[in-house]
């Protein structure tokens, strides 16, 4: 579902991604961990069509990202550490606005369904600025799922959340039909990386240096591998 081949991204003379190759099958949940500056967010921005690669190719469901970004955008839902929401609008107004942009059929029904699913029904008319960080992040997930995308990109969605809110987020992500979606999540938290994904990968200095199936690794081993690669960077 996600095919990344020799992906390179440079900002001027600075190489941020140095030839990433990664294949994620349909329905697979892959977590990507790495230290600050490893290139996680840059990779996510490219996959989300917010940034163009310098070299290499990215295929989403067979669609080349640079050739047909509009089609690719229909397939992507992005949850980032920033909510991408309008603080001055209510949760309902935010979702209805995005539903119009994504041509969602029966937008009111879909918005109500998602707000209920995220436990935000009852606060739907309140401005987003009055929501707690956890509630805002749940609304961000609802926004990302509005158009029912087959691919979900989670860019450090746990940032700024306390442990309880992060666990709620994890439970929600597992609840919301993720079995049908392909998910790539970046995080700093090795515990979540080991627990939430089916495969974990380590990104250091713009390269994927380690990949393993969750069934073949425990948290302590993942942590040891992470420390090894991060310290040698």
Q: Is residue 89 near another protein by the rule CB under 8 A?
A: yes
Among candidates 192, 108, 177, 95, which has minimal Cα distance to 139?
Answer: 95
The span from the CA of 57 to the CA of 66, in Å, is 8
Nearest-approach distance from CB 46 to another protein, in angstroms: 9
Select from 87-95, 176-184, 187-195, 204-212 the region that touches another protein (CB under 8 A): 87-95
Which range touches another protein (CB under 8 A), out of 72-80, 159-167, 178-186, 212-220? 72-80
Q: How far apart are CA 8 and CA 120, in angstroms?
A: 40
Binding residue for another protein (CB under 8 A) from 8, 10, 15, 50? 50
Q: Residue 211 CB, nearest distance to another protein (Å)?
A: 27
The SS3 call for residue 163 is helix
Q: Looking at beta carbons only, is 44 or 201 nearer to another protein? A: 44
53: how many CB neighbours lie within 10 A of its CB?
A: 21
Taking alpha carbons only, the member of 51, 115, 44, 112 closest to residue 78 is 44
The phi, psi pair for 136, rounded to 5°, reads -60, -40
- The residue from 84, 109, 224, 233 that contacts another protein (CB under 8 A) is 84
Size of the residue set binding another protein (CB under 8 A): 30
Interface region with another protein, contact rule CB under 8 A, candidates 32-40, 46-54, 183-191, 216-224: 46-54
Which residue lies nearer to another protein by CB, 57 or 93?
93
E-strand ranges in the chain read 2-11, 14-24, 29-33, 55-60, 63-64, 76-79, 151-155, 182-187, 199-204, 207-213
Q: Whole-angstrom Cα distance, residue 214 to residue 199?
A: 5
Under the binding rule (CB under 8 A), the answer on residue 10 touching another protein is: no
Contact segment (CB under 8 A) with another protein among 83-91, 110-118, 161-169, 201-209 equals 83-91
State in angstroms the smallest separation of the CB of 123 from another protein: 16
**Which residues of this protein are in contact with another protein, per CB under 8 A?**
45, 48-52, 70-71, 73-74, 76, 78, 80, 82-89, 93, 97-98, 100-103, 127, 143
């Amino acid at each position: 579902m996600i095919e990344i081949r020799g992906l390179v991204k440079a900002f001027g003379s600075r190489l941020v991604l140095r030839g990433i190759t990664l294949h994620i099958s349909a329905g697979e949940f892959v977590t990507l961990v790495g230290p600050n500056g490893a290139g996680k967010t840059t990779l996510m921005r490219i996959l989300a069509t917010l940034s163009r690669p310098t070299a290499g190719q990215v295929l989403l469901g067979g669609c080349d990202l640079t050739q047909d970004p509009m089609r690719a955008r229909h397939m992507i839902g992005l949850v980032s550490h920033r909510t991408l929401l309008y603080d001055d609008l209510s949760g309902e107004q935010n979702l209805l606005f995005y539903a119009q942009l994504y041509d969602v059929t029966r937008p009111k029904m879909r918005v109500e369904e998602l707000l209920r699913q995220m436990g935000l029904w009852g606060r739907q008319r309140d401005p987003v600025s009055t929501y707690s960080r956890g509630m805002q992040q749940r609304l961000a997930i609802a926004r990302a799922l509005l158009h029912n995308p087959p691919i979900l990109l989670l860019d450090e969605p746990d940032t700024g959340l306390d442990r309880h809110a992060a666990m709620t987020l994890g439970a929600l992500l597992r609840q919301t039909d993720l079995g049908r979606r392909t998910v790539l999540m970046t995080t700093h938290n090795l515990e979540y990386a080991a627990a939430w994904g089916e495969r974990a990968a380590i990104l250091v200095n713009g390269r994927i240096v380690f990949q393993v199936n969750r069934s073949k690794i425990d948290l302590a081993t993942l942590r040891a591998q992470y420390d090894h690669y991060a310290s040698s960077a």
